[in-house]
Amino acid sequence: MSEIYNQEYYHTDCGPIPYEEPEQWEIFFGAIADRIVQDLRPRTVLDAGCAMGYLVAALRERGVEAYGIDISDYAICCVREDIRPYCAVGSLLDPLPEGLPEQYDVVVTSEVLEHLYADAGKKAIQNLCSLADTVIFSSSPDDFTEKTHLNVQQREYWARLFAENGFYDDLNYRPTYITYHAACYRKKSDVLRQIEDYERNIRLMDGLHRDMLEQAAKRPFQANLYWAGNEEGFSEAQTLHYIGDERDGQVRMEVRLPKVSALRFDPAEKSCIVEDLHVYSDIGTLRAVPENGIEWLGYTIFLEQDPRFRIELEGKAVSSLTIRAHVLPLQYPENTEMLAQLFADWEDAKREQNRLNEELSRREGAYRSAVAGQEAVQQAQLKQQEEQYQTQLKQQEEQHQTQLETSRRRIVQLEKDKRAMQEELAHYKTHYHAAIVQREELKRKLSDSEQAYSEISNAFFWKITWIFRVIVDMVKRPFIKTRYGRLFGKGMRSLKKNGLRNTWRKVRDWRKHRQNFAGLANKPLFTKEELEAQRHVRFSRDVKFSIVVPLYNT
């Protein structure tokens, strides 16, 4: 049977919402878990037929030790990872899988037994009754279209099977928060007392039902669904009417719509109480907000004659819709008593809220007094710290001004030194460039001389007179080695170049210069005291570099 409940089944055969979409189902099972915890307060719960474990997860998130079993391998594989250790593959016809507790406070099995044949269903109920003293049970009484539904029966059929195992329907507790046909079966050993309770409840319910049937036959209620497109208002032309039976107050609407952007649901055309309202669509679970009602303890109370819900679409378009609700008209005495009880609870809650507000105001006053005292102490400490900071800041400012003045004087001195160095550098650059020009001129002359020498050396006359020049050099060499020989040669060259007159003038100037230089050379330039003083003189600044420039003919 496990292969029947595969991915395709959970995607197509579980109603209008695929089972793989957790957001909508988590909201649905979360509401069921809230009611189970609130009404029954169990410590341990077994979800028999847990599918993908949504109810197990919801109960564990609320502090209940919950477990689950299901026949489908696929469903158990899809259980949330942190909940999977508490869910197992198992059949209601077999003992529980290893690792699961053997007894529970409550067993929940919803829409499961109609999938079993009659004999298997009896065996499953026998096993369920052995696990707990309370069983919350539901099985579809009228869904014959589902192909996996093998044993669709009414509530009395299942009540008889539970009674055979000592479990009886608790008429004082109706778990309609799961579905309208859900029941709570409890284990009771006093059968005679149970039969007496049944007869009493039947008698009371018969009288109540007669009154309700008489009123319902005269006053059927009508629920209306209005829709509108973009920039359209609600109108009677775009309305779906649902005629309900006031004996059960159930509203079950499943409609196909054009792409709409606004929806409104009117549960009745009279004052009423609405509970267990759920709205499903092709875009997920939708939220219904009462426009003129009061929400209290899971009920929505409408005192006006035109109750309205606004269905929030969040800007999305809807094409299919399913609405489930339980509507209780206020003209019935039991509903009026419920309303009175709800308002009494509301008044109690308001009084409790007022008491809490007064307590909060008192604590707020005490807190403010304490805060004011603490602020005064902190203000004094802050003022003292501020004075200390101002004194330190003033001292730091004076030090900063002193450093600033020192830095300013230093900058002025550095500017002066910079200008002096720039002047010296400019002086050096001027003489350096003059020397460079003079050097280039000498190089040019040297090049010219070398070129002339090369031309002479390569000339034919120069080559054939080589022997004569060697003889002349050999004759000149003894004379050149003597002082007078050198003077004689120099004089002959000058006569050749300058003539007799200019040669004589040069001889006279040379003798005069020699005499002056001989006198100057014999006279010291500095005295001993001046020489000693210069040896101890240092420059005013460190010398970074020096340039020695040879000056020619200056």
pLDDT at 60: 95
State whether the Cα torsion 478-480-485-491 is positive or negative. Answer: positive
Answer yes or no: is pLDDT of 45 > 90. yes
Nearest of 95, 104, 48 to residue 72 by alpha carbon: 48
Structure confidence at residue 534 as a pLDDT band (50, 70, 90): confident
Q: Pull the structure tokens for residue 325.
A: 């609700």
Predicted local confidence at residue 340, as pLDDT: 65
> What is the spatial distance between Cα 323 and Cα 356, in angstroms, rounded to a whole number?
38
Q: What is residue 333's predicted lDDT score, i.e. its pLDDT? A: 56
Lowest-confidence region among 18-32, 264-278, 408-422, 453-467: 453-467
Burial of 534 (C-beta count, 10 Å sphere; 0-12/13-18/19+): exposed
pLDDT at 554: 47
Tell me the pLDDT tens digit for each residue of 271-305: 888 988 999 988 888 999 998 888 877 788 887 77
For residue 107, count CB atoms less than 10 angstroms from its CB and return exposed for 0-12, middle for 13-18, buried for 19 or more: buried
Token look-up 């497109």 returns 229
Task: Of 105-109, 250-254, 275-279, give the range with the top mean pLDDT.
Answer: 105-109
| pLDDT of the residue at 550 | 64
pLDDT of residue 433: 80
pLDDT of the residue at 216? 47
Buried b (16+ CB within 10 A) or exposed e, 33-57: beebbeebebebbbbbbbbbbbbbb
Q: What is the pLDDT of residues 378-408, one digit of tens each?
A: 888 888 988 898 889 899 888 988 898 988 8
Return the CATH fold of 7-189: Rossmann fold (3.40.50)
At residue 315, the pLDDT reads 80
The pLDDT of residue 335 is above 80? no
**221 vs 331, higher pLDDT:** 221
Domain-wise residue ranges, the chain: 7-189, 221-331
Beta bridge pairs of residue 510: none
Q: Inform me whether the pLDDT recorded for 175 exceeds 70.
A: yes
Which residue, 36, 204, 167, is CA-closest to 108? 36
Does residue 97 contact residue 87 with C-beta atoms inside 8 Å?
A: no
pLDDT score, position 347: 73
551 neighbors 435 (Cβ within 8 angstroms): yes
Interval 110-137: pLDDT, tens:
989 998 989 999 999 999 999 999 999 9
Residue 256 has pLDDT above 80, yes or no: yes
Residue matched to tokens 């002025």: 412
CA distance 432 to 315: 89
Which pLDDT band, with edges at 50, 70 and 90, does 537 fall under?
Answer: confident
Q: Average model confidence (pLDDT) for the chain?
A: 82
pLDDT digits (tens, 9 = 90+) for 259-268: 788 899 998 8
- Tell me the pLDDT tens digit for each residue of 486-527: 777 777 778 777 888 888 888 888 888 877 776 666 667 677
Domain 221-331: top CATH class: mainly beta
Q: Pairing mode, if any, of strands 106-110 and 167-169? A: unpaired
Please, what's the b/e burial string for 128-137 (b: 16 or more CB within 10 A of its CB; e: otherwise)? bbebbbbbbb
Q: What is the pLDDT of residues 48-97, one digit of tens each?
A: 999 889 999 999 999 999 999 998 888 889 899 999 999 999 999 999 99
